[in-house]
A and B are shown apart, each in its own frame.
Chain A
Amino acid sequence: MISLGSYLAISFALFILGIAVMIARKNIIAILLGIELILNSAALNFAAYTKFVNNNLDGHVMSLFIIVIAAAEAAVGLGIVIRFFQLRESIHIDDAASLQN
């Protein structure tokens, strides 16, 4: 049987990868993908804990919520990216630096 540790390890790996993507990549769409990875790791955590700790459906429901929120977030994010591209003709993250100083 797969232990809780394995689930958490995968979840942690996903989380770290997501953060790495968000920090390292300059492409806004790639950063959105990193956010998806982090959300997925959180959803995996919920599913794992609900299975091993209290054995009911709460975690699963929360995972479903996260999937829905991730879809909505991706839609909003892509919308922002399109508006940004129309404005700057670029999807490079460093072009979005008008808040500097």
Chain B
Amino acid sequence: MDYTISNIAPIVLLPFLAFVINVFIVKRFTKVAVGLSVAAIFGSFLYALRIFLDFMNVYNTNYYVHKAFNWFDLSTGAHVFKVNMGIYIDNMSAVMLLMVTGAATLIHIFSTWYMHDDARFGRFFVYLSLFTSAMLGLVLSDNLLSVFIFWELMGFCSYSLIGFYYEKEGAGNASMKAFMTTRVGDVFFLLGILAIWSVVGSVSFTEIYNAIGDGKFNNLYALGIPLATLAGFSIFMGTVGKSAQVPLQVWLPDAMWGPTPCSALIHAATMVAAGVYLSLRMFPLMEVGHLTTFIAYTGAITAFLAATIALVQTDIKAVLAFSTISQLGYMVIGIGVGSYNASFMHLITHAVFKACLFLSAGAVIHSIHEQQMPKMGGLKSKLPYTFLAMLLCCLAIAGVPFFSGFVSKDRILGDALIMALENPVYIPVALLGFAGAGLTAFYMFRMLFLTFFGEPRDHHIYDHAHDEHLGWNSNIPLLILGVFTLGLFYSGSFTGLGEVNLFGSKYEWFNTLIAKPEAKNLAQFKSYVSTPFSTVDMREKAQLEKSAYDASHGMSEEAAHHAHLIHKIGAALSVIIAFSGIFIAYLMYVKKSLNPAGCTEFFKRWTEALKNKYYFDDFYIKKMIQGGLLPFNDLLSRFDMGFYDKYAVDGWEKVNQYAYKISNWFDNNIIDSGMVDGTGASVRLMNVVLRTIQSGKVQMYFVVLVVVLASYVWTLNF
């Protein structure tokens, strides 16, 4: 397959075109617009599938496609200011493309069921199309600047969709909160781009890798801090904002004001994952900047705090929101402990099962018009397919063997354990990670049990719930996503430990293909030449050697054996923890032999803190906004009123008044009296002269004639 503009651009352009067309036709032809959106994203999916299959066919770790065209070039002499735009597809982008388009297609289809009786049915799809095109653009981008553009575009769509039910005050506030909070991260991200620009002179990924490989970041300092650290930190703060890590995690729970499918797409599967994706892309920078410990701690704290908050939530979507924050925390731990591959794998597996969880929650909410779990219960018989999908996803997220969550999360935790054994600094990370895993299993099954098991707690709601029937656009997408929660698809083996060989050379494909861009394979970018667009890819793909799974991950035999052993211990540990979490949830909410009230009583103060989400919101509102921003605002307004208004604006008024007087005088005397009236007067004067000449006396004319002729003749003589 050749990579030209005509078979890559449609991935982004199809949803974008659907957006542009739908903006105009959505009011009148709502059904057509919806169909167009769904068809467009399905078309993108087919293109993405084509690319993915090609990459699977080539099956080489170092294979990538990079095409760029010159966007603008403002270089003057030695001062280079040039930006290329283009696409960069490596194995990671190919997998990501397939995940985004696939999940988005299913979510679009589900939305046609979920939103069909909404007053703004069509508008929802307009935003979804714009969002998907932005997300796909971000995945395809080859440089940080276009990543930033698509990043902001996604932020806007997220803002619009959170505030989708804008009649509700809470939704409006939540959308603003989400936008402003992520903005903090975005500012850092932009600073990071500038910092990288100042060193590399380009923002293209390949050139950044190249520069890092060349050691251009060595011995560069800004404000006494290594520049790589500064740039890496700024980029990572972008991730913190977008992926809702501590301390900027406050927006994601509020984002649940949006419609549930948008939560599934934006706030679970794609946009929040884009933050992690960015950090993965910039992974060499994080390593050069020695930020891995900081990142690991951020992730661990986020994973644990969010998991604990999820314990006490009663709103079904709030549980999922905190669970998303927690799982994103695991991905960030993965970046921090250097398990690049597992982190990205968790991104993909999480996107699938969390999208499915959100859609299931949406199906429940749509059926009973209630979000509070204490009012649910016993819905298993009413919503059998939703229950099945949610059960699969809960097993996956809890980390039960044979499910995708186990494969990915277990590898992150295993790597954290290895790091903890090597370096005591990482011990808290591993501990928080394992504790969070147990909590995850507990709160997810708490949600499942409260929703689907036991006696119906609110008979009115239960009796009015519709019995679910198999429908192509309601529960089929759930079941498809549910099937993909099996670990088989990601690891090629049931356990994720690479012990069962199912697909020949393709087994453990995820592990084989996604390689950490370390210094040793950064060398491939040294020979990088940007291929102009629309030329045929000249590399002979058939000659590329197929990569094979390396169980030792390039380590010595002893080290690999050691790592393998610790991975097994970690796997066993996480399985035990997951099952104990599930078991405690079972005891509490199904058998009711343990009373949850006793627990909350025992940890009274802590429960209070959890219910208030660790007072982050209070802190931001009371301390940061009311204590810091508002007084500052006040000061500025005082300056504005007291100084600027009083002297500059009012002074300007004085100046204006004088100018007015001058110009008034000028107008009256010079213009009006002098020029306007003067024109009249001069005409009248001429009139008088001409009238006297035109006497009507022929002899007078004759005299004038003679005088003129005589004087003419007289002048001729000189």
Contacts and interface: CB of A to CB of B under 8 A. Distances in A.
Interface stretch (B54-62, B480-488, B695-703): B695-703
B694 interface: yes
Interface in A74-101: 93-94, 96-101
Nearest to B700: A23
Interface in A44-101: 93-94, 96-101
A69 B354 CA distance: 120
Contacts, number: 27
A100 B703 contact: no
B711 to A, nearest CB: 15
Given A23-B699, A97-B695, A101-B691, 8 more contacts: A22-B702, A93-B698, A93-B699, A94-B697, A96-B698, A100-B695, A100-B696, A101-B696
Nearest to A34: B702
Interface of A: 19, 22-23, 31, 93-94, 96-101
B699 A99 contact: no
A23 B698 CA distance: 9
Contacts of B694: 99-101
B559 interface: no
A19 B697 contact: no
Contact of B697 (A22, A31, A100): A100
B695 A22 contact: no
B699 A22 contact: yes
6 contacts: A23-B703, A93-B698, A96-B698, A97-B697, A100-B694, A101-B694
Interface residues of B, number: 10
B706 interface: yes
Contacts of B698: 93, 96
A97 B696 contact: yes
B227 to A, nearest CB: 94
Interface SS of chain B: helix
A23 B699 CA distance: 6
Contacts of A19: 706
Contacts of A93: 697-699
A94 B695 CA distance: 10
Interface in B668-718: 691, 694-699, 702-703, 706
Contacts of A99: 694, 696
A81 to B, nearest CB: 13
B705 to A, nearest CB: 10
A98 B699 contact: no
Contacts of B699: 22-23, 31, 93
A98 B702 contact: no
B703 to A, nearest CB: 6
A101 B691 CA distance: 6
Contact of B696 (A22, A23, A31, A98): A98
A23 B702 contact: yes
A64 B699 CA distance: 28
A69 B287 CA distance: 119
Contacts of A94: 697
A23 B707 CA distance: 12
Nearest to B699: A23
A101 B697 CA distance: 10
Nearest to A24: B699
Contacts of A98: 696
Interface in B607-662: none
4 closest cross-chain pairs (CB), A and B: A100-B696, A97-B696, A99-B696, A23-B699
A63 to B, nearest CB: 22
Most A CB contacts (10 A, CB to CB) among B691, B697, B706 go to B697
A95 B441 CA distance: 128
Contacts of B697: 93-94, 97, 100
A31 B696 CA distance: 16
Interface string B342-365: 000000000000000000000000
Interface in B188-225: none
Nearest to A22: B702
Interface string B439-475: 0000000000000000000000000000000000000
A84 B699 CA distance: 17
Contacts of B695: 97, 100-101
B694 to A, nearest CB: 6
